[in-house]
Structure 1
Amino acid sequence: MIGARLRTARKAAGVTQARVAAVLELSQSTVTKIEKGQTTISADNLGKLVEFLGVDEATAAELRKFSEADAAERQRSRRPAGPLWFGDIPDLERRAREIRSWTGERLPGVLQSEQYMRALFQGRANVDDLVEARKDRQRLFDHEGIREFLLSESALDRVRATADPLMALDQVQHLLKCGELAGVAIRIVPYAADLYVAPDFTILRLDEGDRVYVEYQSGKLLLHKHKDVREHWDAWAVLDELALPVEESARLLAGIRDRLDAGLAGQA
């Protein structure tokens, strides 16, 4: 179990849980849960911890291996809560040569900042697990390929209108950082496009053929039939035509960031 091995490495380095929590910017209770195997540690935090503890490369490789095994086991254990295929979605996303994603009224989980996630999951009993699972899906950015996201301007307004301007600012800054990653494009479909496409969908281009992941209010579907896939590529073509270019979308996001920043400065 990765938690027990991390605890052993921490104690061998003579480091307290409180110090680890400070380095990883987590609560000490979360560090305790990680060491007890009650929640997972993200790949980013594992890398930070390995570097901080100064473990040798062989131990670091072993820790990464056990971390991946723990994450896979947790993913399998979550499958009964939904359609059996849903547990495979993160794996499909990581294997996809291309990802084309459209969301009309929300931000996709893979583009959410941790602060934004925690606000969404507030009140849930297993917030840490939900956040770590969503951050694990963001590992798709560690793999080469095209990742293009089309967001409606309405989705951005929902972020901007949140009661917590600091969280909204953090999320917009996170979107700008994601847009700078290699192979990633974030484009905005403006209100002026006067377009409504439902539901949200993601096209995954895989070696074995294209798949479409569709989200409805009532559930989720994974489509593979040629007719279904073709219909969503056609919908994508319409959205692609209406979306702002990458540079203009980045300027729009930067403008939202600057207005949020100015508003916070005015409250100081």
Structure 2
Amino acid sequence: MKADGRPRTAREKYGEELKLRRMAAGLTQEALAREVICSPTLISHYEAGRRLPSPDDARRIDQALGTDGFFERWLEDLDPAFAHYFGAVAELEQEATEIRQYGGSLIPGLLQTKEYSRAVFQAYRPNYCAEEVDELVVSRAKRGLLLEKTSAPETWTLLDEGALRRSIGGPRVMAEQLNKVADMADSGRLRLHVLPLACGAHALLEGMLYLLSFADAAPLAYIEGLHNGRLLDDPALVDACRTSYTLALSDAASRQKSVALVRSIAEEHEHAHHRAHH
């Protein structure tokens, strides 16, 4: 069990074992990093259970520690799309220097208002329990506080116009949500671009993408589908994801036009709300 009473995840057990074996071999994180050919920060991510090594890194760890394929074999049993698939990302985003997020049919979680995220969580469940939804809403709102910090990561947000028009939680909730996003863009908290419906096909149509950069570790990409998500650390895959994001960004409206579009769609939602109540 962890100090906070939470059971240790399989990744944390893997990381703890790595730390024990490294110390038993008399190596510092820096010394092991030299053998594995990675940054000491990455070794600390592995030992904290925040990241899993690639099969190549696991092989080099085994060579450095003389553990005879132990870490490489154990890695095969750890599905990278682990059940609490977002947990690692939520921890990693706290350490990120830059975040690039994309919302195709949804406003990304980091920017959601409580009412908007409540509507999303309710829609995911056939029979939702109010207490459970409340907990999820609170934990998502806590994540959003990251962008309020003075040391907040540089945040790029790319939204499909479809995400702005889909009425989640009703027109009042949507107006509030879109104004929040536009306010954050105006105050410099995030760089906002919108992909207008008129631009047609674009490089991120297929799904949700989240890119994280760090001061002292390799960048990561996170992709999510229905009931699963994958944290990608393979450099070629992360690179491909970054290219897709750049391509989509090149099809987006300018920052000024994007903020104006978000504001005008927020107004449309406002008018729909007033019409419904008069």
Regarding TM over 0.5, the answer is yes
Residue 90 (structure 2) pairs with residue 90 (structure 1): yes
The alpha carbon displacement at 1:148 in A equals 0.5
Q: Aligned residue for 1:136?
A: 142
Judge conservation of contact 1:203–1:211 (CA < 8 Å) in 2. Answer: yes
| 3-state SS of paired residue (2:142) | helix
Larger mean CA deviation between 121-130 and 224-233 belongs to 121-130
CA RMSD, Structure 1 to Structure 2 (Å): 2.7
Residue 242 (structure 2) pairs with residue 236 (structure 1): no
The alpha carbon displacement at 1:177 in A equals 2.3
Q: Aligned residue for 1:247?
A: 256
Partners of 1:164 and 1:182 in 2: how far apart? Answer: 28
The alpha carbon displacement at 1:262 in A equals 2.8
Cα deviation, 1:18-40, whole Å, max 9, x if unaligned, reads xxxxxxxxxxxxxxxxxxxxxxx
Q: Aligned residue for 1:38?
A: none
One-letter code of the match for 1:252?
L
One-letter code of the match for 2:210?
T
**Runs of at least 5 residues in structure 2 that lack an aligned partner in the other structure:** 11-80
Relative to the length of structure 2, the TM-score reads 0.63
One-letter code of the match for 1:139?
L
Partners of 1:221 and 1:100 in 2: how far apart? Answer: 16
Which of these residues, 210, 227, 233, is aligned with residue 224 of structure 1? 233
Aligned residues: 195
Instruction: Rate the CA distance shift 1:103–1:258 in 2: closer, same or farther, 3 A.
Output: closer
One-letter code of the match for 1:104?
G
Larger mean CA deviation between 171-180 and 222-231 belongs to 171-180
The alpha carbon displacement at 1:88 in A equals 2.3
The alpha carbon displacement at 1:133 in A equals 1.0
Larger Rg: 2
Which of these residues, 124, 146, 149, is aligned with residue 128 of structure 2? 124
Structure 2 matches for 1:132-211, cutoff 5 A? 132-141=138-147, 142=149, 143-159=151-167, 162=168, 164-196=170-202, 197=204, 198-206=206-214, 207-211=216-220
The alpha carbon displacement at 1:99 in A equals 0.6
Cα deviation, 1:106-159, whole Å, max 9, x if unaligned, reads 221111111111222235221111011111211220233210110101111213
Instruction: Rate the CA distance shift 1:95–1:170 in 2: closer, same or farther, 3 A.
Output: same
One-letter code of the match for 1:155?
A
Partners of 1:79 and 1:177 in 2: how far apart? Answer: 38
Judge conservation of contact 2:224–2:230 (CA < 8 Å) in 1. Answer: yes
The alpha carbon displacement at 1:264 in A equals 3.3
Larger mean CA deviation between 227-236 and 180-189 belongs to 180-189
Instruction: Rate the CA distance shift 1:247–1:115 in 2: closer, same or farther, 3 A.
Output: same
One-letter code of the match for 1:228?
L
The alpha carbon displacement at 1:263 in A equals 3.2
Cα deviation, 1:183-208, whole Å, max 9, x if unaligned, reads 41121111122124222111100121
Cα deviation, 1:212-256, whole Å, max 9, x if unaligned, reads 011122510001111111101110110110111121111001111
Partners of 2:137 and 2:4 in 1: how far apart? Answer: 16
Identity of aligned residues (%): 26
Partners of 1:127 and 1:218 in 2: how far apart? Answer: 16
Partners of 1:154 and 1:79 in 2: how far apart? Answer: 37
Q: Could you say which structure has the higher helix fraction?
A: 1
Cα deviation, 1:56-109, whole Å, max 9, x if unaligned, reads xxxxxxxxxxxxxxxx949x5696895356322122112111111122222211
One-letter code of the match for 2:102?
W
One-letter code of the match for 1:235?
S
| 3-state SS of paired residue (1:208) | coil
